[in-house]
Amino acid sequence: MAPRIWPLVKLVSKVTIAGGAVYVAYDSGLLGSSEQGSMALEKAKAVVPPALEEWMKYFGLEAQLPTMPKIEFSPVNSWNAGVRWTISSLSEAPTRATEYTNQGLQYVKDLTK
Amino acid sequence: MSEKELGKKLDRCLADGVVKLGTGLGLGIVFSVLFFKRRTWPITLFSGAGLGMAYANCQHDLRSHYLLHTSEQQEQ
pLDDT in tens, A54-102: 877 777 765 555 666 667 777 778 888 999 999 999 999 999 999 999 9
List chain B pLDDT tens, one digit each, 76 residues: 788 888 888 888 988 999 999 999 999 999 999 999 999 999 999 999 999 999 999 999 888 888 776 666 666 5
Residue B32 lies in a domain: yes
Interface test with A, best of B5, B11, B23 (most A CBs within 10 A): B23
Residue B37 lies in a domain: yes
Which chain A residue shows the shortest CA-CA distance from B35?
Answer: A14
Query: For position A66, what pLDDT does the model report?
Result: 63
Query: For position B39, what pLDDT does the model report?
Result: 92
Global pTM reads 0.65
- Say if residue A56 is exposed, middle or buried (CB neighbours under 10 Å; 0-12, 13-18, 19+): middle
Distance CA B17, CA B70 (A): 30
How many CB atoms lie under 10 A from the CB of residue A12?
A: 11
Distance CA B9, CA A14 (A): 39
pLDDT tens digits, A13-52? 999 999 999 999 998 888 888 888 888 888 888 888 778 7
Query: For position A61, what pLDDT does the model report?
Result: 64
A88: Cα separation from own chain's centroid: 28
How many CB atoms lie under 10 A from the CB of residue A2?
A: 6
Contact B23 A34 (CB under 8 A): no
Task: Indicate the residue type of A82.
Answer: G
Residue B69 lies in a domain: no
Distance CA A71, CA A53 (A): 18
Query: For position B73, what pLDDT does the model report?
Result: 60
**Residue B46 structural domain:** 3-64
Domains of chain B: total: 1
CA distance A63 to chain B (A): 31
